[in-house]
Amino acid sequence: MKKSWKYISVYGIFVASVYLFFSCSAVFEGGASGKVVDAESTETPKAGIQDVEVYVYTSEYKRNEDYQLYNGYGKFTPSGSSYIGHTTTNSDGNFSLGKLMWESDKPVFGKTGDSIPVFLLFYHENYGLQKNDNYAVILSDSVSYVVYQEMTAIRKTTTLNISILDASQDPETATRLPPAISQPVNVTVCVPQATSENPNVPAIKKEATITGTGTITVSYPRYSSGTTANIPEITITYGQSGENTAYKPCNYITTEGSENYSFIANIQATPITKQIQGTAVPIQLYMKPTVISMPPISGQLCLGTPASGTNDEGSTADDNVKVMLASVTNDGTLGTVLNYTSASVMTAPSGNGANGSRVIHGRFSGLGQGITWTDSSYAGKYSTKNVAVVFDMDNSGTISTNDRYYLLKNDESINRALRSNETARDVGKLTDSKLE
């Protein structure tokens, strides 16, 4: 009996050892590479898609489970331990995954090598989530080019080329649009994301600070719900930060008989709406200044009579006269001198008469330069400012009965009021008949 038990024990150990030897699993590693392209590309070969996230699974069941759990909007996030590899496509749509590891108890080539089928998911914001179309197998100790995947866009992208223009300025000849403003403006674009399949998806807001011109790129579902011909309608709000803003949004309707340049009272309540399609769309947003720089005033005092035999304009009596900038009252009459440094300049001759050249007496410039006025309610294209150019004839430093002045006001066609669209004003030669 002892011998038989001993025999059975030795035989059992031998059988177990043989089983363990032939059933011992091995760990292998290999890689996969491939390319993801746009199915609708008209290029040959088709254009690759950049920034596609590629996830590799060895379990088809786990791959399908992650695929089915995705709700169709928002960023795809797989379960943490379900996939064995992840990468992102480059600018040409190519990708490569190295050192994918798997364990096999029945290697195809014994302990020297193995192959394994893999199952992939591809995700891109504009193309959605998709399984690999072709069956993919990778070999150990190599990087197999096994994947060629086409994806059809489910979203579209449009670049908004935004120009923020000064509606108070005359259009430029080249563009037929007013010039761009030179101050930063905060722009917010609200882009709808709802579709018939997902009607409750909230809109996405994109924000940027733009000075003059800039771009905002927006993305939206390919088949947007509630729009004409699947063309999405975005809304835009814009404005400067803080309470003391230099520009405010305004209308810009130039149709004759229906002109409207009024300020938009509440841009948040009545945003700008635009339908967009294609890869790029120009967007013009209009603003008017509320803080307006006074155009510097220049001109010539010409009261004196030139000496006999000269061809001068005016005489030395027109030189060294103080020129003062004054307000105009509500009834259109002369007011008081403005309290600014540049509200007072002196007249001077232009030219020296050498070699018989002409001398222009009484020239002045820079009157009012740097002065601003505020107007947050003007309905028209321009804000206007009534002022008076006063010549201090008795050198008293104040307005007196001996002084002469020239009114710039709204009810005059020639010497009209200063406008917000002016960069300078030359009042020309002011002779006795033009002055009050």
Write out pLDDT tens, residues 359-370.
899 999 999 999
Nearest partner of 321 among 276, 367, 356, 354, judged by Cα: 367
Contact 190, 220 (CB under 8 A): no
Is 70 exceeded by the pLDDT of residue 354? no
Q: What is the b/e burial string over 40-54, where b = at least 16 CB atoms within 10 angstroms of the residue's CB?
A: eeeeeebebbeebbb
Residue 120 sits at the vertex; the CA angle it makes with 37 and 95, to the nearest 5 degrees, is 45
Type and span of the H or E element at 404? strand 404-408
Report the Cα–Cα distance between both ends of the chain, in Å, rounded: 145
Q: Which residue has the higher pLDDT, 245 or 162?
A: 162
Q: How confident is the model at residue 353 (pLDDT cuts 50, 70, 90)?
A: low
Write out pLDDT tens, residues 77-112.
998 778 989 999 999 999 998 878 888 777 877 777
The two tokens of residue 430 are 């002011």
Contact 67, 121 (CB under 8 A): yes
The two tokens of residue 392 are 């201090």
Q: How far apart are CA 122 and CA 55, in angstroms?
A: 7
Q: How far apart are CA 403 and CA 394, in angstroms?
A: 7
Q: Which residue has the higher pLDDT, 102 or 239?
A: 239
The two tokens of residue 156 are 């579209």
Mean pLDDT of the chain: 88
- What is the average per-residue pLDDT within 166-190? 92
Q: 56 burial class (0-12, 13-18, 19+ CB within 10 angstroms)? A: buried
Write out pLDDT tens, residues 43-73.
999 999 999 999 999 899 999 999 999 988 7
Q: Which residue has the higher pLDDT, 141 or 423?
A: 423
Q: Is the dihedral of CA 408, 411, 415, 417 positive or negative?
A: positive
The two tokens of residue 142 are 């190599």
Q: Give the CA count within 13 Å in the CB-facing half-sphere of 315.
A: 9
Q: 82 burial class (0-12, 13-18, 19+ CB within 10 angstroms)? A: middle
Nearest partner of 82 among 101, 99, 60, 113, judged by Cα: 60
pLDDT above 90: percentage of residues in the chain: 62
Q: Residue 84: CB partners within 8 Å, gap ≥ 6?
A: 56, 57, 58, 100, 101, 102
Is 70 exceeded by the pLDDT of residue 10? no
Q: How far apart are CA 14 and CA 23, in angstroms?
A: 14
Residue 2: phi and psi, rounded to 5, are -65, -40
Residue 336: phi and psi, rounded to 5, are -120, 160
The two tokens of residue 89 are 């496509």
**Hunting for tokens 């309707």 — which residue is that?**
253
Q: How confident is the model at residue 158 (pLDDT cuts 50, 70, 90)?
A: very high
Write out pLDDT tens, residues 26-40.
888 888 899 999 999
- What is the average per-residue pLDDT within 382-408? 94
pTM of this prediction exceeds 0.85: no
Contact 92, 104 (CB under 8 A): no
Residues in the chain: 436
pLDDT score for 387: 97
- What is the average per-residue pLDDT within 273-288? 95
Q: How far apart are CA 373 and CA 338, in angstroms?
A: 12
Is 50 exceeded by the pLDDT of residue 304? yes
Is 80 exceeded by the pLDDT of residue 383? yes
* 37 to 41, 98, 130, 400: CA distances (angstroms): 8, 21, 13, 83
Q: 65 burial class (0-12, 13-18, 19+ CB within 10 angstroms)? A: middle
Beta strands in 152-295 (DSSP E): 155-166, 184-191, 204-211, 213-221, 233-239, 247-249, 272-275, 280-289, 291-293
Q: 342 burial class (0-12, 13-18, 19+ CB within 10 angstroms)? A: middle
